Amino acid sequence: MFIGYIYKITGVCGKVYIGSTTNYKSRISSHLSNSNNTSSRFLEKPLVFEIIRQEEFINRNYMRLIEQNYIDNIDCVNTNRAIYKYEKVECIYCKKLINKNCMKLHHQSKVCRWAREGREFFDLPLVCPQCKTSISHR
């Protein structure tokens, strides 16, 4: 468990950026630096920093989930999501539940290729590591 911060940056124009961090002072410095690559660079200076929530989190994903909830419910300039929702979908070939974002990689796997070719895992011969003879699965 660790202390985490969900923060809000407001630009002079009224636009808002939402972020999260475990080191608030360091994060403010990085937002103010010239090498800032976050969406907060779209805010007009001067910037007002405000901690929305400070608490002990169990892990970073939970902290980012809370941050994403703020991003979804506040009109802000954030262009990236804090956390991605993993939608499970069924592979049309092997019927396994796969994360939607990983489907292309899954289709390249052996199990899925075998299912597309009409083979099953048990159709492949096993070879004894000692004598090198084929062994039946059944």
Q: What is the pLDDT of residue 134?
A: 53
Is the pLDDT at 37 greater than 90, yes or no? no
pTM of the complete model: 0.60
**Is residue 60 pLDDT above 70, yes or no?**
yes
The answer, yes or no, to whether residue 136 has pLDDT greater than 50, is no
The structural domains of the chain, ordered by start, are 2-73 (3.40.1440.10), 88-135 (no CATH)
Task: Please give the Cα distance from 83 to 10 (Å, whole number).
Answer: 22
Find the range with the poorest average confidence among 64-68, 79-83, 85-89, 125-129. 125-129
Which range (7-16, 70-79, 81-90) has the least confidence? 81-90
When the pLDDT of each residue in the chain is averaged and rounded to a whole number, the result is 78
Q: Which long-range contacts (CB under 8 A, 24 or more apart) does 56-64 make?
A: 56/1, 56/2, 56/3, 56/4, 57/1, 57/2, 57/3, 57/4, 58/1, 60/4, 60/22, 63/4, 63/6, 63/20, 64/20
